Amino acid sequence: MSELTPVIDKLASWWHGLEDARGDRALLRRAGSLTDVALSAPYQRLYRQLVAAGWDSQSSDERNDRLAAVVGLLAHVKEDSQQALPEAMSARPRVEDKPPVSELRFQRLLESPDIESLFSSLRRVLPLMNNRVDVKALANDVLYWGDSIKKRWAYDYVWPQKSR
């Protein structure tokens, strides 16, 4: 069990409540940067709840940016599909179909130099998957983003076969 499991559980619970908080969802969906997310009232209200659930109120700016990224991205998720991001990015409805997220786009996403660019890239990728992903997996992967998550994503993405 991760040290952030209670926080991730609280984020998932909050996400479920967004259906009844359409104004909050809309505000967060319009947030184009992590600063926009962090300065929003819905994020600040949630942040206080997360501190009570175990989020360190003395977290670094980078760690708080990761949290803001999760919150901003979850506002775009319409359905908790229980499918991890790399699997959803590479899922093909039929054998001959192309994946929702191309190999090149996926590689660029893995090469995101910072959390702000990861946030921007994932905001553009989520609609390609019909905004359906595993809510807790998204939260976990963005909060712990680094080489180990990138490697796991690379293993979990179903790479297209090269044409001969």
Q: Is CATH 1.10.390.10 the classification given to domain 5-156?
A: no
Please count the other Cβ atoms lying within 10 Å of the Cβ belonging to residue 157: 22
Task: Return all residues near 156 (Cβ < 8 A) that are at least 6 apart.
Answer: 84, 86, 87
Task: Return all residues near 97 (Cβ < 8 A) that are at least 6 apart.
Answer: none
pLDDT of residue 149: 96
pLDDT of residue 97: 77
pLDDT of residue 2: 64
10-residue block means of pLDDT along the chain (164 residues)? 80 94 96 97 96 88 96 97 91 78 95 96 95 96 96 92 64
The predicted model scores a pTM of 0.92
Write down the domain spans for the chain.
Answer: 5-156
